């Protein structure tokens, strides 16, 4: 695209002066003739139309050469533009093909690398698995041989030496169980009885502590007032001497009236 733009710009820069020259020549010619005259440029020459009469004026030698040169330049420019466009298209196609080929090569290389890595990992895993399997098989075989050997040795030892010892240990265990189980039962019973007795003592003490003061109080009250079953309350009455004492009786009260006469002095 950049090449095409450059070609178009160059073409315009080359052709514009020629076009401007031709146009200016035509305008100058039209301005120099009469207004009733029409000039038409053709291949054979300039057609002069005046009052309906057409006269063909052939080009002069210089003008013909200039027109031929202009036509040749235009043709060359068009050919150059076409060639540049074709070359640009070919270059673009070649670049696209190269990019596609490089991309395909890169993709193929990446795929080959990935496949190589995967194959390498698979081979390593297979080798490690085979080694581990061989080691496990060897360990199992060795262990089996050792177990068989130990079993044979133990069998011989059991038959020869360990059987009496095992019997003695079994006897000791039985005796210990026979002795320890009754002792444990007795200890358990003693613990239960002791705990029960302690609980009874604590409960009784709490009950006595709560009820004894009331019982002692009732006992003291009953011993001081045998006729009363409940404690009595004594009331102390304080008599105020400033208040008059009213005595009610059957005697008759006599009221004496005293009359006082006052005589004025003369």
Q: What is the pLDDT of residues 2-44, one digit of tens each?
A: 555 555 656 655 665 555 555 555 544 554 455 565 666 665 6
Residue 239 domain-assigned (yes or no): no
Nearest Cα to 58, choosing from 43, 71, 45?
A: 45
For residues 55-73, give the mean pLDDT.
65
What does the alpha-carbon distance between residue 12 and residue 23 come to, in Å, rounded to a whole number? Answer: 16
Contact 77, 11 (CB under 8 A): yes
| E strand or H helix that includes residue 40 | strand 37-41
What does the alpha-carbon distance between residue 127 and residue 138 come to, in Å, rounded to a whole number? Answer: 16
- 265 band by pLDDT with thresholds 50, 70 and 90: very low
Residue 133 domain-assigned (yes or no): yes
Contact 67, 4 (CB under 8 A): no
pLDDT greater at residue 37 or residue 175: 175
User: What sign for the dihedral angle of Cα 103, 108, 114, 117?
Assistant: negative
Residue 212 domain-assigned (yes or no): no
Residue 29 domain-assigned (yes or no): no
Range of the domain at 195: 58-207
CA 74 to chain centre: 72
Give the total number of structural domains in the chain. 1
The DSSP line for 117-180 is: HHHHHHHHHHHHHHHHHHHHHHHHHHHHHHHHHHHHHHHHHIIIIIHHHHHHHHHHHHHHHHHH
Residue 109 domain-assigned (yes or no): yes
User: What sign for the dihedral angle of Cα 8, 10, 13, 18?
Assistant: negative
Residue 38 domain-assigned (yes or no): no
pLDDT at 187: 79
Residue 224 domain-assigned (yes or no): no
Residue 166 domain-assigned (yes or no): yes
Which residues is 56 bridged to in the sheet?
A: 47
pLDDT greater at residue 39 or residue 70: 70
pLDDT at 192: 82
What does the alpha-carbon distance between residue 11 and residue 4 come to, in Å, rounded to a whole number? Answer: 11
């Amino acid at each position: 695209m950049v090449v095409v733009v450059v070609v178009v710009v160059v073409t315009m820069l080359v052709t514009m002066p020629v076009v401007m020259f031709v146009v200016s020549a035509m305008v100058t010619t039209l301005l120099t003739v009469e207004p009733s005259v029409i000039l038409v440029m053709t291949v054979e020459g300039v057609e002069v139309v005046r009052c309906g009469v057409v006269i063909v004026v052939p080009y002069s030698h210089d003008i013909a050469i200039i027109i031929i040169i202009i036509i040749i330049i235009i043709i060359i420019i068009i050919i150059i533009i076409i060639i540049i466009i074709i070359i640009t298209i070919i270059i673009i196609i070649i670049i696209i093909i190269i990019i596609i080929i490089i991309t395909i090569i890169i993709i193929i290389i990446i795929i080959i690398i990935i496949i190589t890595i995967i194959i390498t990992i698979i081979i390593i895993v297979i080798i490690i698995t085979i080694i581990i399997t061989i080691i496990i098989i060897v360990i199992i075989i060795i262990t089996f041989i050792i177990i068989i050997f130990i079993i044979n040795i133990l069998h011989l030892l059991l038959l020869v030496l360990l059987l009496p010892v095992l019997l003695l240990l079994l006897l000791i265990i039985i005796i210990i169980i026979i002795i320890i189980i009754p002792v444990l039962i007795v200890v358990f019973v003693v613990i239960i009885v002791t705990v029960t007795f302690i609980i009874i003592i604590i409960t009784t003490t709490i009950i006595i502590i709560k009820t004894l003061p009331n019982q002692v109080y009732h006992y003291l009250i009953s011993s001081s007032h045998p006729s009363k079953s409940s404690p009595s309350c004594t009331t102390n009455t304080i008599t105020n001497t400033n208040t008059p004492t009213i005595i009610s009786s059957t005697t008759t009260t006599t009221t004496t009236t005293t009359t006082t006469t006052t005589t004025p002095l003369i």
